[in-house]
Amino acid sequence: MIDMRIKSLFFDREKVIRTVDKAKRAVLSKAGAFIRTVARTSIRKRKGSAPPGSPPHSHVGLLRNFILFGYDRASDSVVVGPAKLNKPTEAPRVLEHGGVTTVTKFSRGKLRKRRARIAARPFMGPALEKERPRLPKLWAGSVRGG
């Protein structure tokens, strides 16, 4: 009889761990969704190139539409960024950080390829920085006993 009363005073360790893990996945997923939304809305549909240092312009919509997020169980974190498409491309990395890439252009009836240096037009880093102050508030009240 005494054992039963004492045991009821302690936490159910497995239940606490499950509850915290569930809340963590929910909060991280919410954070990923917010960062994705900010990144997507920063990429505007415009003609021509964006000025260096500002988010890139969207011409076709692939970059903007394929910014995704997902919870990664292995690293216990959320990953947010452009999805890899079927055609291998360096474009998202080069736009974010700047660098050299191959540019294909249709000119005089032929496809022409040339190497080009691209100035950075970051969109993911600024999206994270814009959302960073709001992230701690997502944790408030996230773990509830049941």
pLDDT tens-place string over residues 109-141 = 899 999 999 999 999 999 999 999 999 999 988
pLDDT tens-place string over residues 58-103 = 999 999 999 999 999 899 899 999 998 887 788 899 999 999 998 8
Place of tokens 């055609």: 87
- Does the structure show a pLDDT above 80 at 2? no
Q: Domains of the chain: which residue ranges?
A: 2-86+124-138
| Cβ 104 vs Cβ 90: under 8 Å | no
Please report which confidence band the pLDDT of residue 4 belongs to, taking 50, 70 and 90 as the band edges.
low
Q: Say if pTM beats, i.e. exceeds, 0.85.
A: no
| Cβ 96 vs Cβ 120: under 8 Å | yes
